[in-house]
Amino acid sequence: MNWKRFWGNPYKWGIWIWLGGRPITYQLRDLWHKAEFVWIILLIACGVALGHAFDWITVLKIMGIFTLGFIFGHLFWGTKYIEDQPGE
C-alpha cells in the first residue's frame, strides 16, 4: 500500500485506487453491460426478499427512494457509456 497516496486523499484512495484505479461507477457500469441478465436476476431477487420481509408501505418507500436516486443519477451523472473508460 502506498501510504502517501492514501493520506494525501483518503476519499480518492477508497473509491479508486484499491479497485484498480478507476471509479466504482465506471466498473459497475462495465459489469452491467457485460452481465446484464445476472444483474436483473439479482435485482428481482432483492425485490422478492423485500416483499417478503417488509410490509408494502415500507417497500414502496424504499422503491420511491431508489427511483429518485435513479432519476437524479441520470440527470446529473448520465454520460455516454464508453467501455473500460479510464478515470481522471
The residue extents of the domains of the chain are: 22-88
Q: What is the pLDDT of residue 33?
A: 85
pTM for this prediction: 0.48
Q: What is the pLDDT of residue 77?
A: 66
Answer yes or no: are the C-beta atoms of 5 and 13 closer than 8 Å: yes
64 phi and psi angles, rounded to 5 deg:
-65, -45
2 sits in which H/E element: none
Q: What is the pLDDT of residue 41?
A: 92
- pLDDT by residue (tens digit) across 22-70? 777 777 788 888 888 988 898 889 888 888 998 889 888 988 998 888 8
* Sign of the four-CA dihedral 7, 10, 12, 15: positive
20: left (phi over 0), alpha (psi -120 to 50) or beta: left
Q: What is the pLDDT of residue 45?
A: 92
